[in-house]
Chains A and B, each alone.
Chain A
Amino acid sequence: MFTLFKKKKAGYIAKVLPDNMEILVKRGETLLYSALSQGIKWPHKCKVGSCGTCKYQLVKGKINPQLDFSYVLEPNDIKNGYGLACQSILESDIEVNINTINF
């Protein structure tokens, strides 16, 4: 019951592999928005979840997808933890890999 009154974290850390770059993602902000705000050159195009350019692979942690990824990503990609940074809100500290993606 006390979890109801637990103060929510102001944000989470996204560690980007393979360079171990760390991004502070404020609560409610998307991974892409935070990355770009902090000067990280994350590949992107449409920013609304339709092009798939900002694709990443989740290695550890939990995200809350804001749009259904299955319109843009293949079923196998989704099974393997791929997501769209522009539509990902963090629910824990995460580790993501963008090296495995052929941009």
Chain B
Amino acid sequence: MKFFVNTRYLIVPIMTLLTISGIFFGGAYSWVGVFLFGINIVLDTLTRNIHLRANFDDSGNSYGIKSFQYFVMYLMLPIFIMLQAALAWRLYEYTSTTPIENSTFLGINYQIGLSGFDLLGSTLSSALWAGLGIIYGHELSHNKKEGFLASRLLMALSGASHFTYAHVYNHHLDLGHEDDPATAPRGRNVYAHAWLSHMGQSKFSFDLERKKLQKNNKSFFSYENKWILGYVYSLPSIILFVWSGGFLGIITLLIVWGLSNFLLEALNFMGHYGLIRKDGPVSHRHSWDNDSVFTSWFFIEIGRQCDHHVRGETYFWELDDVDGPNYGIGYFSLFVLTLVPSLFRNFVSQHLKRWDKDYATKEEREIGARFNSYVTSEART
């Protein structure tokens, strides 16, 4: 059991390594990352009705091995650096018009040079897996100071190092309030949310640093300014892509950052869409759970949002079903629905009705009703 519990969370590391290999081999393999993303949508949809609880032994101890799980999480930082480096290498080949030919490296055949189509495949593959890798940035933000720094560096690969501070000091504190940019109000679509949440969290981090430095009588332009430092952490990526691709490098990096941040914000969107908190502490009812088996294992239990937001200090392998609001389907399946706002609204309206009836307090229900009438009138116009 111990072996199974600990290895079931290796889907992302393995698939990321496959994506890097695909970029290395070139040709049609450049699209491996995109292909795997599609496969995951199918697997998640097919297994949507299987829900498993966290595993504990007879004494109530978790089977999770902390040292192993942390080793894997820290290992994801060099793996995601490799992913970005592999793309930069292919970009360099493309812009330097390296002729397309076959070669061997340690006895393995691979393609030197690539077409524009294959560069697009490599870029989309990198972007999708950089976005999925953000789950490690999230998990590490909650545990120990070394983990916090690793989280910042991992997020910086997607130009979003501010996330780590905003997530802990804003999202966990202000969840379900209008002060939390990561909570999507009823009526907002995922595209608007991605932009508003990203910018809102960066703004929060900016203000957090400004206030902290003011309190300590220090200049905003200080090496202690973690908002500025976060963007400095992203400089190596910018330099690498400008060096390897010039203007095309900037476009490529913007695609990688745009898509990976879109996936991050889609997770925030799905985790709390339409839920309202009026005063009082964060409770299970202020998050949506997505705990179908594939989502749980792939996203290292990040879908157990109800438990995570009440026990933020808890390791992901110990998070459990707490009978909170639940979409009943996994993140990949739900993500597809969010891409078509009208489909998502139809899907989520029944769940919100149930939330209003079974979970909301009187005050929360009243606020929800005001939002509902606004959303309905917007839909009519």
Contacts and interface: CB of A to CB of B under 8 A. Distances in A.
B169 A50 contact: yes
A47 interface: yes
B216 A86 contact: no
A46 B173 contact: yes
A49 B165 CA distance: 11
Given A30-B313, A33-B313, A67-B148, A48 B212 contact: no
B312 interface: yes
B281 A47 contact: no
A70 B216 contact: yes
Contacts of A67: 145, 148, 168
B282 interface: yes
Nearest to A64: B145
Interface in B137-174: 142, 144-145, 148, 165, 168-170, 172-173
Contacts of A81: none
Contacts of A61: none
Contacts of A66: 144-145, 148
Nearest to B167: A48
Contact of B215 (A30, A51, A70): A70
A46 B169 CA distance: 10
A74 interface: yes
Nearest to A29: B313
A103 B187 CA distance: 38
Interface of A: 30, 32-33, 45-51, 65-67, 70-72, 74-75, 86
Given A46-B173, A48-B313, A70 B282 contact: no
Contact of A47 (B145, B169, B216, B313): B313
Nearest to B170: A50
B311 interface: yes
Contacts of A86: 313
B215 A50 contact: no
Contact of B281 (A30, A45, A48, A74): A45
Contacts of B281: 45
Contacts of B18: none
B208 interface: yes
B312 A47 contact: yes
15 contacts: A46-B172, A46-B282, A47-B311, A47-B312, A48-B168, A50-B169, A50-B172, A51-B173, A65-B145, A67-B145, A67-B148, A70-B212, A72-B169, A75-B215, A75-B216
A15 B173 CA distance: 29
Contacts of B165: 71
Contacts of A71: 165, 169, 208, 212
Interface string B299-342: 00000000000011100000000000000000000000000000
Contact of B172 (A33, A48, A65): A48
Contacts of B282: 46
Contacts of A45: 281
A47 B145 CA distance: 15
B125 to A, nearest CB: 33
B150 to A, nearest CB: 13
B138 to A, nearest CB: 12
Given A33-B313, A71-B208, A48 B142 contact: yes
Nearest to B143: A66
A50 B216 contact: no
A74 B212 CA distance: 9
Given A48-B142, A67-B168, 5 more contacts: A45-B281, A47-B312, A48-B168, A50-B168, A65-B145
A30 B208 CA distance: 24
B173 A50 contact: yes
Contact of A49 (B168, B208, B215, B311): B168
Nearest to B213: A70
B133 to A, nearest CB: 21
B230 to A, nearest CB: 14
A67 B142 CA distance: 10
B215 A74 contact: yes
A80 to B, nearest CB: 15
A13 to B, nearest CB: 21
A3 to B, nearest CB: 22
Interface in B213-247: 215-216
Interface in B267-321: 281-282, 311-313
